[in-house]
Structure 1
């Protein structure tokens, strides 16, 4: 539970021990509520599928007890259970379907090319903020109907909200993001367009319009879900490829490896460190009694290094197949933007390959101090086209 473990230590040693010796481990309450830890792949996958026992509506991330309930509980796509979850998901599902993502692919390719070219012009840049952050943000802004003139403004706000070290800076930036969507959803409610915010601003669930607050919270959810983990995965994947140059060379030699490379990047980075559920009925896992109201935490990086599922799990291997990682969730709450994230990663790495870009570290990467997401916070690089 120490954020510095993820920036300076090795949590995989602890997770490996827990998988072998205490796969359903009780953490006593501290400033956080007490909770059960699941570290094995099959236990986490099974719990993901059992939405009738493990609820999302009371929050999906550990929060200090004195912070109270998550304000999005029961209101946003990520923090609802059936039947409301299915109703909310049905409003936006089509935008993230294979057909819709493929229809956007040419525009996404253009965004990737523009971002890479800008980084090449700079020569030296921060791969996290200057490359990895911009592609998913600009794509989700396009889908949400954010005017292109505002993309850089939201880029500045999300950079502060996701990566700034000062908690007050993060909170202020997040409030500004909510304020932005408050204005945008009001405009879209009056004059809807062909975009996600318009869908939410004019939607009805069970015969009632979504409240303005619910629209704003879901917009925030889509922005965060559509950018943060892809940003960290893209940067963490690039770092893994730089640390394993033979793997990057294999992809250069055979571009047909891009799809399996993307899957290995997702497994290896496992950027969502934990996901939480709350038990709404008693159950038992490996002899441990889970009571109603107990918090149960899924440690996804541990699941994705489970030696009972993955051969040589601590090896980064772009040839790995099958690769049934849990980085994008499972069951009812399988990541809405999973196809989008995969395409964004493929287009980014594909653009670097297409232009023959040489990337090398230009300083020491800094990893995030966080128990929520893990990966590079900053990664100075030099980029040069062939």
Structure 2
């Protein structure tokens, strides 16, 4: 269904933004486009969720991201039902603090996301991708989300947190259980118990990984508390899960646009551009929240101190004022200043690693002369937090084969 095919009365209902089922498809793009034109900064009355402003235009979303003084992350970065109360990680984690404390925590782990560690990351992803593709070719079909993307994700988690390869299957099972049940990772007792044990081992012998940096480092001259370390680890695992979802959504995009895969196969030097377009197109993080600390005009509305401001990233990444033909998937798109990783002080610390993860997998698929084609109905995630396929049955086949061969 195209954006224009949806009736106006279905489009002009901003209340649908908080309906998870409405996000399991493409209809939200029509609503976001309507809002960009008619209600780019829109107030939602309190109900299931606290009252909040929806921000849908690229320029406004970027402005909020860049002004961390006026738009704070410390009180939460995701919409939570009123009954859930405040985010328990508020003020404790990299995502849920503001500078200068955010800057101090970020400095502890930034080296893990760069330099020598990146080479280790790339080597592990490439080895895993080759093995997964070999297995997928041998089978008639597979669920790309669970059989491929999830395995790539656990390699990312293991590289970042120093999880031994022998424990990857357990971590994969626990994160899949939490994802399938729609639960926070922090509520999965076995996973959290394992992370606590990982932290305890690192206290005794800190490694050159995120956990080692968190347990041995200091911010403002003091070590992080055990709770801070645990919540930061949980946040990083969750972010890696989101990257895996983006890879799966990218494969779906190429399966639905075979001409773009053929173009990329002819011009593999365009992989970096293709990765950026996948990130823009999929926008796997659906929204980000900030809380105003001072009066601020945004568009023609006045934001009051204490107001929640929700940034809808898929909308910003399809803004006609910023992107030419935004509803077209173009692997050679330039410029492509998408906001999938945010911007400013809270720009995603793992952005470079996520791009490498995408690029390595695409390159391995291209080098092997393969492509992915649908092999059954796609089931989308029903969530206001993340977007992408929950199930993606595919076949991995030679690039030159006819569909269905």
Which TM-score tier does this pair reach, normalised by the shorter chain? Answer: over 0.9
**Equivalent residue, structure 2, for 1:355:** 368
What does 1:33-182 align with in structure 2 at a 5 Å threshold? 33-97=50-114, 100-162=117-179, 164=180, 166-167=181-182, 174-182=188-196
Whether contact under 8 Å (2:185, 2:234) holds in the other structure is no
RMSD of Structure 2 on Structure 1 (CA) = 1.6
Distance 1:139 1:231 in 2: 9
**Equivalent residue, structure 2, for 1:222:** 236
Instruction: Encode CA deviations 1:15-59: one digit per residue, 9 max, x unaligned.
Output: 111111111100111110000010000001011000000000000
2:287 alignment partner, one of 245, 266, 274: 274
Superposition deviation, residue 287 in structure 1: 2.5
Consecutive unaligned residues of structure 1, counting only runs of 5 or more, are none
Distance 1:150 1:259 in 2: 32
The 1:27/1:46 distance shift into structure 2, 3 A limit, reads: same
The 1:304/1:218 distance shift into structure 2, 3 A limit, reads: same
The answer on 1:383 being equivalent to 2:396 is yes
Instruction: Encode CA deviations 1:294-320: one digit per residue, 9 max, x unaligned.
Output: 000000000000001100000000110
Whether contact under 8 Å (1:98, 1:339) holds in the other structure is no
Equivalent position SS for 1:79: coil
Whether contact under 8 Å (1:279, 1:295) holds in the other structure is yes
The answer on 1:204 being equivalent to 2:218 is yes
Distance 2:310 2:26 in 1: 20
Distance 1:173 1:34 in 2: 26
The 1:8/1:308 distance shift into structure 2, 3 A limit, reads: closer
The answer on 1:232 being equivalent to 2:245 is yes
Distance 1:338 1:28 in 2: 34
Instruction: Encode CA deviations 1:311-357: one digit per residue, 9 max, x unaligned.
Output: 00000001100100000100000010000000000111111111112
The answer on 1:316 being equivalent to 2:329 is yes
Superposition deviation, residue 84 in structure 1: 0.6
Distance 2:24 2:349 in 1: 28
Distance 1:154 1:119 in 2: 22
Distance 2:190 2:295 in 1: 41
Equivalent position SS for 1:78: coil
**Equivalent residue, structure 1, for 2:208:** 194
Distance 1:286 1:75 in 2: 32
Distance 2:102 2:220 in 1: 12
Instruction: Encode CA deviations 1:184-223: one digit per residue, 9 max, x unaligned.
Output: 1011101222222111122221222211111111111111
**Equivalent residue, structure 2, for 1:254:** 267
1:335 alignment partner, one of 335, 348, 363: 348
**Equivalent residue, structure 2, for 1:366:** 379
Distance 2:385 2:186 in 1: 19
The answer on 1:24 being equivalent to 2:41 is yes
Superposition deviation, residue 113 in structure 1: 1.4
Distance 1:256 1:285 in 2: 40
Normalising by structure 1, we get a TM-score of: 0.95
Consecutive unaligned residues of structure 2, counting only runs of 5 or more, are 1-17, 400-405
Distance 1:264 1:224 in 2: 22
Whether contact under 8 Å (1:61, 1:372) holds in the other structure is yes
Normalising by structure 2, we get a TM-score of: 0.91
Superposition deviation, residue 133 in structure 1: 1.8
Whether contact under 8 Å (1:4, 1:370) holds in the other structure is yes
Whether contact under 8 Å (1:363, 1:381) holds in the other structure is yes
Superposition deviation, residue 174 in structure 1: 2.7
**Equivalent residue, structure 2, for 1:11:** 28
Equivalent position SS for 2:243: helix
Distance 2:25 2:114 in 1: 38
Farther-moved stretch of structure 1 (233-242 vs 96-105): 96-105
